Structures are given as structure tokens and as C-alpha cells.
Structure 1
Amino acid sequence: MKEKFTTTVSVKGKGESKARAFSDALSHVQGAMLKSSGQVLLRIEPQDVQVVHARETVRKEAFLFFFLRRERRTFSVELEVTVNVTAINPDKVDFVTQ
């Protein structure tokens, strides 16, 4: 009934800082696991994180094309996260009909 397995999930994230980009990407791990398996997840433990892509985008802005010039930076990352998963497989549970 209860199973443990290891899998790798690919996730992406964006943010205004490097930490926010990583945080956003790691927050998508659970959603990616739910989409890939039809099991009830009890625990997801990240074991390893590999950075596939890390990008910084700089965009220049100005108010009315001349005033208050500034640069806006956006960071994006793509990660491969290896996770240990503890799950319950509902197909292996015998339900009694009444």
C-alpha cells in the first residue's frame, strides 16, 4: 500500500531576485509530482537540485521616454530536482462494497 520511490522532476521559476526565482521553481515541485502520478502523496523530500538554465533579463524603462530612467532585472531558472517520494497507491487498496 505505502510505497517509496525516487524520481526527477523538471520545474521552472521566475522572480525579481535570484532567491525568488529559486523559491518559485521549488514551489512547483509538488504540482509537477501530482500531475505525473495518480497516487496520494504523503511526503516529498528533495535530495538533489541541478540547475539546467539560469538567466538574467535586463529591461530599461523610462517615464514618458525621458524621465526617471531605470533598469528592471528579472531572473529565471530551470531546475532538475531529484526527490524521494512516499505515497499511497489507491489501486492497491481493497475497497469493500456495502
Structure 2
Amino acid sequence: MKQNQQQIVRVSGQGDSKQRAFANALSQVQKQVLKNSSNMMLRIEPLNIQIVSAIKKITTERFLFIFLPRKKAIYDITLDVAVDVCFVDLSHIEFTSQ
């Protein structure tokens, strides 16, 4: 009844710090796993994380195009997350009608 399956899910996240970008990427794992399956998920456990790309974009903002320049960093990360999914396959359950 209960089954395990391993999958690799590609997720990406963006934020104003490294931690926020990484957290945004990891929060997408559950959404991607649920989108690819129609079974009832019991547990999603990450096994391994590989970094596909990590980009830091620095832009300069100015007030009225010339005053008070400041640098702003935006972090963008793409990850391949190997997950072990524990689920119940609903197609094997037979319902009786009354």
C-alpha cells in the first residue's frame, strides 16, 4: 500500500540575500513533487542537493538618476534536489458501493 520512489526535482529561487534565495528554492520542492504526481503524498525527504547555477546580480540605484548611488544585490539560484517520496497509490484502493 505504501510505496517509496526517488525523484530529482529542479527548482529555482530568488532573493535579496543568499539565505533567502536558497530558502525560496527549497520551498518550491513540495509544489513540484505534487505537480508531477496524482498520488497521496505522506512524506517528502530530500536526499541530496546539487547546485546547477548560482548568480549574483549587482545593480546601482540612484535617486533622480544622479544622486545617492547605492548598490543592490539580487541572488538567483537553481538547484537539483534528489528526494525520496513516500506515497499511497490511490489506484490500488478498491472502493465498494453501498
Same fold per superposition (TM over 0.5): yes
Give 1:92 shift.
0.9
Number of the residue aligned with 2:90: 90
1:58 matched to 2:42:
no
Q: Tell me the number of residue pairs that the alignment of Structure 1 and Structure 2 aligns.
A: 98
Provide the TM-score with structure 2 as the length reference.
0.96
Please list every run of 5 or more consecutive structure 2 residues that lacks an aligned counterpart in the other structure: none
1:37 matched to 2:34:
no
Provide the TM-score with structure 1 as the length reference.
0.96
Please list every run of 5 or more consecutive structure 1 residues that lacks an aligned counterpart in the other structure: none
Specify the SS of the correspondent of 2:38: coil
Give 1:57 shift.
0.5
| C-alpha distance in structure 2 between counterparts of 1:30 and 1:70, whole Å | 37
- Cα RMSD of the aligned pairs, angstroms, is 0.7
Q: Deviations over 1:31-86 (max 9, x none)?
A: 00011111111100001000000000011100101222101100000000001110
Aligned amino acid, residue 30 of structure 1: Q
